[in-house]
Amino acid sequence: MAYVARWIDKSEHTRFNDFLAKHPKGHVLQSWEWGEIKSRTGWQPWRLIIEKDNEIVAGASILERKIPVVGIPIFYASRGPVVDWKDTELFDLVLAEIKKLAKKRGAIFLKIDPDVPSSEKELENYLLSRGFRSAESGKGFEGVQPKYVFRLDISPDEATLLSNMQQKTRYNIRLAQKKGVQIRRGTRADLPDFYRVLKETTERDRFLVRAYSYFEDLYDSLVPQGLGELFIAEYEGQIISGTLAFVIGDKAWYIYGASSNSHRNVMPNYLIQWEMIRWAKSLGCTLYDFRGVPGHLTEDNPLYGLYRFKKGFNGDYTEFIGEWDLVYRPVTYFLWNHLEPIYSEVIKGLISKLRRMRRG
């Protein structure tokens, strides 16, 4: 029986997610819920499935966003499409169906950032042969999704996982336990405190944070569906740390972390990570992704502490293949590439100015 390609609606929401959960390349950023979250921040989701004998064999959640002012759309498949990358016939069909939609919508290009290590040159060669071009900015920590991560195989038992960690990491986990740090699953009522601590973190480490409403949306869309969990660390009755994790199938991701300026000496961040790993194992996960770290670091880099913290859990330092664009409208794409960085810098400048005015 031949392949059948279809763009689906919400009536196949569960079926789409079930496919992602079972596929080796399934990712929570391709889930139905993630598309709904992004739909409330200026994106329009489209979901594609490819079937054979009434079984889904490939899929893609495509996000469409219109460029400000000019109103021309771009396409983005965050950590997708979900397909066997080595099955070129199937991958070709996925790309052909996306191209049809792109033509109909007038999209400039399709951006992908596959969850595939850079060592897989076979995929890179395939992408080049199909007209993709590398869209690397040279800022591996600042792409749409991180290019460098630590990933931990959590299939061994807990004793083995602990013994494989760096000695300092094990020590800090046990110190937090000895000091009486308590880790629990967070509830919706904990979100304000989590966000308060997150704001402390962003002000201390000097990076931007989304509005509180965004985290409400994340919680409401993902946690009740079993695709996310909020973790809270308490010490002497005070919330001092919190994290937000995503999960689908046999994979879990550490997404957001917040740590108070108070009681950092009791090492809550180490214990909360360990409890997240144990939670992921309890769900049957075999992969725990610590998410982004900067690439090619030296010890004098301000972000080296983040790298060292994640490295201590003994995950594999992984470089992904990066961002790739398949261009549908070359002239418009050329203009986008030259004007978008200028636009972004102007917006960043305005945000920085507003923040300074608030402080003043």
Of 118, 21, 90, residue with least CA distance to 319:
118
Domain 155-285 sits in CATH at 3.40.630.30
Query: What is the structure's pLDDT at 98?
Result: 98
Residue 350 has pLDDT above 80, yes or no: no
Peptide bond into 81 cis (omega under 30): yes
Query: What is the structure's pLDDT at 352?
Result: 52
**What is the rounded CA–CA span in Å between residue 82 and residue 58?**
6
pLDDT in tens, 118-171: 999 999 999 999 999 999 865 544 458 999 999 999 999 999 999 999 999 999
Residue 344 has pLDDT above 80, yes or no: no
Of 124, 165, 149, residue with least CA distance to 27:
149
Residue 158 DSSP one-character state:
H
pLDDT in tens, 9-37: 999 999 999 999 999 999 999 999 999 99
pLDDT in tens, 268-304: 999 999 999 999 999 999 999 999 887 777 777 777 8
pLDDT in tens, 119-133: 999 999 999 999 999
Q: Are 218 and 228 in contact (CB under 8 A)?
A: yes
**What is the rounded CA–CA span in Å between residue 218 and residue 214?**
6
List Cα–Cα distances, 52 to 22, 59, 98, 172, in angstroms: 16, 12, 18, 51
Structure tokens at 71: 């109103």
Residue 117 DSSP one-character state:
B
Residue 347 has pLDDT above 50, yes or no: no
The CATH class of the 4-112 domain is alpha beta
Q: Are 38 and 218 in contact (CB under 8 A)?
A: no
pLDDT in tens, 216-268: 999 999 999 999 999 999 999 999 999 999 999 999 999 999 999 899 999 99
Q: Hey, how many other C-beta atoms are within 10 angstroms of the C-beta on 309?
A: 19
Q: Hey, how many other C-beta atoms are within 10 angstroms of the C-beta on 126?
A: 16
Write the CB contacts of 34 (distance below 8 Å, at least 6 apart in sequence). Answer: 28, 61, 78
- 355 falls in which pLDDT band (50, 70, 90)? very low
What sign results for the dihedral spanned by CA atoms 71, 61, 242, 178?
A: negative
Residue 82 DSSP one-character state:
B
pTM, 2 dp: 0.91
Task: Quickly list DSSP for 50-70.
Answer: EEETTEEEEEEEEEEEEPTTT
